[in-house]
Amino acid sequence: MTVRTRFAPSPTGFLHIGGARTALFSWAYAKKHGGEFILRIEDTDVARSSPEAVQAILDGMQWLGLDYDQGPFYQMLRMDRYKVVIQSMLAAGSAYYCYSSKEELEALREQQMAQKLKPRYDGKWRPEKGKLLPLPPVDVSPVIRFKNPQDGVVAWDDLVKGRIEIANSELDDLIIARADGTPTYNFCVVVDDSDMGITQVIRGDDHVNNTPRQINMLCALSEIDSSIQVPQYAHLSMILGSDGQKLSKRHGAVSVMQYHEDGYLPEAVINYLARLGWSHGDEEVFSKQQFSQWFDLDHITPSAAQFNTEKLNWLNAHYIKQADPTTLLADQLQRLALRGVLAPDAAKLSAGIALYKERVNTLNELADGLVYFFEKPSLDAAAVVKHLTPDIMPVLAELGGELNASDWQAETIHQVINDAVTKNGLKFPKLAMPLRVAITGIAQSPSIDQVMAILGKEEVLTRLKAVLK
């Protein structure tokens, strides 16, 4: 049997970290088993769904490289299909019309609450052998309810959480079509999962409560069509913020595209998400392809995973170091443009990237670090006071002369600075720091001789002169 998994987001917001991890695990499971991964957009909540959210999900999937074999399927385009299935369930007796009015149900509810009972449908319109149903009122459009089994338990071996059993007596006769004929959420999921031949449903554990209802409906459908099978279920525990609380905007509950904007590489985000609740021995750094070969549901931790920005940064730093120079160049051109640096010299930019990429956590830090190669920096006032002290000015002036006469490689520049340091009886930083401030505007930079080599003699001398005035 071909493995088929799906990611079924509701387009009521962007693709966030939790959703992306669910998508990644479903994707990897399908890849590992040579199966198919399906994208399904669950857009039946018309009031809360939006085309922008659909686009955000598609963009997020694309950025992460989570390619799907089928879809995207849109539930709103499948309404006719749901109606056909509802009719077949009515015909088979696994669904029935219910004419109880809202007021009636509300009164029932209040009565049950007053008696400290769990509010539930009283089964007034549920057909049973030998039961005489009331006459349908003419002025009520009926809803359609699923005839949930009343006895026994519904059970499944959750691939993450282990065996779960729910007594059928706990489950109401679910409304599967509203009075206006539109099908409801759990029912659409069931029809889709069976039509799409889903073999493993991998999703967040906020859906555990839906599963017994869905299984019962699938069983009812399998009585109509014996080829329909109940899939396996794997419910992933939620992701908590680094403070152990529900994920908030500060850590993780943002769009995955925000990570792109903030300078994270998709490889880093994927690698990070893969380890969020799943492990393969001590392996921390691995590619998406490697993950899809290793992934299994046995090594998912049933407990909640905790978001950890430092770890994500660490991975991102790793992937930035490893990144293909052309990719980094293209990325930095865009990020520099956002910082007002248009059409920077490509050779200088590549050299700057090579120098800086070893020391940054994000692509934004990289771009921030590169701006001064193309624009005169504004000098950090505190650094000026601290390092551009009157005693060092004559040394800098003299150094300017020496540099002017020197050829322009990092090693020779280093030699010239070193000679000035020795000649003036200084320690290296005493001269290197003021040089940094004069040339880059701040006191932190990679090795200053290398920075100067990239920047070019003329520009270095101009910047030196500017502080000597």
Give me the residues that bind ligand GLU (CB under 6 A), please.
8-10, 42, 189, 203, 207
Q: Can you tell me the distance from the alpha carbon of 449 to that of 416, in angstroms, rounded to the nearest whole number?
A: 10
> Closest CB to ligand GLU among 252 and 344?
252
In whole angstroms, the minimum distance from the beta carbon of 26 to ligand GLU comes to: 9
Q: Can you tell me the distance from the alpha carbon of 188 to that of 210, in angstroms, rounded to the nearest whole number?
A: 12
Q: Can you tell me the distance from the alpha carbon of 32 to that of 53, in angstroms, rounded to the nearest whole number?
A: 29
Residue among 143, 218, 220, 147 nearest 184 (CA): 143
> Closest CB to ligand GLU among 169 and 209?
209
In whole angstroms, the minimum distance from the beta carbon of 67 to ligand GLU comes to: 19
- What is the number of other CB atoms lying within 10 angstroms of the CB of residue 194? 21
> Closest CB to ligand GLU among 40 and 387?
40
> Closest CB to ligand GLU among 187 and 356?
187
In whole angstroms, the minimum distance from the beta carbon of 214 to ligand GLU comes to: 8
- Region for residue 216 given its phi and psi (left: phi exceeds 0; alpha: psi -120 to 50; beta: otherwise): alpha
In whole angstroms, the minimum distance from the beta carbon of 83 to ligand GLU comes to: 20
Residues 443, 372: contact at Cβ < 8 Å? no
> Closest CB to ligand GLU among 6 and 436?
6
In whole angstroms, the minimum distance from the beta carbon of 217 to ligand GLU comes to: 13
> Closest CB to ligand GLU among 28 and 189?
189
> Closest CB to ligand GLU among 112 and 232?
232
In whole angstroms, the minimum distance from the beta carbon of 59 to ligand GLU comes to: 17
Q: Can you tell me the distance from the alpha carbon of 170 to that of 395, in angstroms, rounded to the nearest whole number?
A: 85
In whole angstroms, the minimum distance from the beta carbon of 41 to ligand GLU comes to: 9
> Closest CB to ligand GLU among 158 and 365?
158
In whole angstroms, the minimum distance from the beta carbon of 5 to ligand GLU comes to: 10
- Region for residue 444 given its phi and psi (left: phi exceeds 0; alpha: psi -120 to 50; beta: otherwise): beta
Residues 313, 362: contact at Cβ < 8 Å? yes
- What is the number of other CB atoms lying within 10 angstroms of the CB of residue 173? 21
> Closest CB to ligand GLU among 195 and 380?
195
> Closest CB to ligand GLU among 189 and 341?
189
In whole angstroms, the minimum distance from the beta carbon of 207 to ligand GLU comes to: 5
Residue nearest to ligand GLU (CB): 203
Tokens representing 421 are 């340091």
In whole angstroms, the minimum distance from the beta carbon of 31 to ligand GLU comes to: 19
| Distances in whole angstroms, Cα of residue 136 to Cα of each of 122, 123, 124, 155, 310 | 16, 14, 11, 35, 63
